[in-house]
Amino acid sequence: MLKLEGVTRRFGGIEAIKDLALDVPAGARLGLIGPNGSGKTTLLNLLSGVVASDVGAIRFDGERIETLSAHRFARLGIARTFQNLRLVRHMTVRENVWLAQHSLPAAAAFRRHAPAEIAFAARIAALLGELGLAAVAETPVSALPLPHQRRVELARALARQPKLLLLDEPAGGMTPAETREMGALIARLVPDDVTLILVEHKIDLVTRLCPRIAVLDFGRKIADGAPGEVLRRPDVMEIYFGRAETADA
């Protein structure tokens, strides 16, 4: 469903993403790892239309989309969360999740109690329950601890019923226990037919959720395959565990 060919994005003199090829079939779960500054977030920005590629083609369901603006990416059914959290701080949890309503067809904007809106409200109520946010639904998000704020972002993305879901460090800043909980929630709440790309530093979480891992380093993809193979590769181990350990092995 998603196919990248020769995608390059420069910022000044730095190539944040270099000549990247990636083929993600529908319903796949791809983990994206790599050191800080390796281009993971830039790749998510490219895939959500937040930044444009300088060179190369991005195909979504066969259509070229690399020149479209961000709202057109969203309307194709691409949803994302943000590593640095983009929540409207003075709004409550429920109101923040309701922002997903802007992905509903425009006709619903002028009709109160339109069928699409009723179904949407029910979906949000269910999501808040599943994510353990029902009790804090009327609390301003700024009053919540970080793990809950990340759940609000996840709820907002899921409420849109996306085809492609991009998660940018959904367990960033969490304790191991919180990370395990987040992993369980993602596994349970992301429907099987949704394509998932997960950017994460925590290898446990990635291997648990994704049967396929791609590794970025200095904007290049250096490995792509099953976690067992990819994580055993010397170049990947060098990035993650340092040179000494690979020398011993």
- Position among 90, 113, 177, 248 found at the interface with other proteins (CB under 8 A): 90
Using CA of residue 160, residue 165, residue 166, residue 169, what is the dihedral sign? positive
Q: Does 142 bind other proteins (CB under 8 A)?
A: no
Write out the binding residues for other proteins, residues 184-243 only, by CB under 8 A.
none
- Position among 3, 98, 180, 222 found at the interface with other proteins (CB under 8 A): 98
Please identify, using beta-carbon distances, which residue of 102 and 188 lies nearer to other proteins: 102
| Cα end-to-end span (Å), the chain | 39
Which region, left, alpha or beta, applies to residue 33 given φ > 0 means left and ψ of -120 to 50 means alpha?
Answer: beta
- Position among 64, 86, 232, 243 found at the interface with other proteins (CB under 8 A): 86
- The stretch among 27-35, 75-83, 181-189, 214-222 that binds other proteins (CB under 8 A) is 75-83
- The stretch among 12-20, 82-90, 195-203, 231-239 that binds other proteins (CB under 8 A) is 82-90
- Position among 1, 28, 50, 52 found at the interface with other proteins (CB under 8 A): 50
Please identify, using beta-carbon distances, which residue of 112 and 247 lies nearer to other proteins: 112
Q: Does 60 bind other proteins (CB under 8 A)?
A: no
Sole residue written with tokens 């369980």:
184
Q: Does 53 bind other proteins (CB under 8 A)?
A: no
Q: Does 137 bind other proteins (CB under 8 A)?
A: no
Tell me, letter by letter, the H, E, C secondary structure of the chain: CEEEEEEEEEECCEEEEEEEEEEECCCCEEEEECCCCCCHHHHHHHHCCCCCCCEEEEEECCEECCCCCHHHHHHCCEEECCCCCCCCCCCEHHHHHHHHHHHCCHHHHCCCCCHHHHHHHHHHHHHHHHCCCHHHCCCEHHHCCHHHHHHHHHHHHHHCCCCEEEEECCCCCCCHHHHHHHHHHHHHHCCCCCEEEEECCCHHHHHHHCCEEEEEECCEEEEEECHHHHHHCHHHHHHHHCHHHHHHC
The minimum distance between CB 213 and other proteins, in angstroms, equals 25
Q: Does 43 bind other proteins (CB under 8 A)?
A: no
Count of residues in contact with other proteins, rule CB under 8 A: 26
- Position among 9, 80, 94, 150 found at the interface with other proteins (CB under 8 A): 80
Please identify, using beta-carbon distances, which residue of 93 and 239 lies nearer to other proteins: 93
Please answer whether residues 96 and 136 qualify as being in contact, where contact means their C-beta atoms are separated by less than 8 angstroms: no
Q: Does 133 bind other proteins (CB under 8 A)?
A: no
- The stretch among 14-22, 64-72, 183-191, 225-233 that binds other proteins (CB under 8 A) is 64-72
Q: Which residues bind to other proteins, rule: CB under 8 A?
A: 48-50, 69-71, 73-75, 79-80, 82, 86, 88, 90, 98-103, 108-109, 112, 156, 160
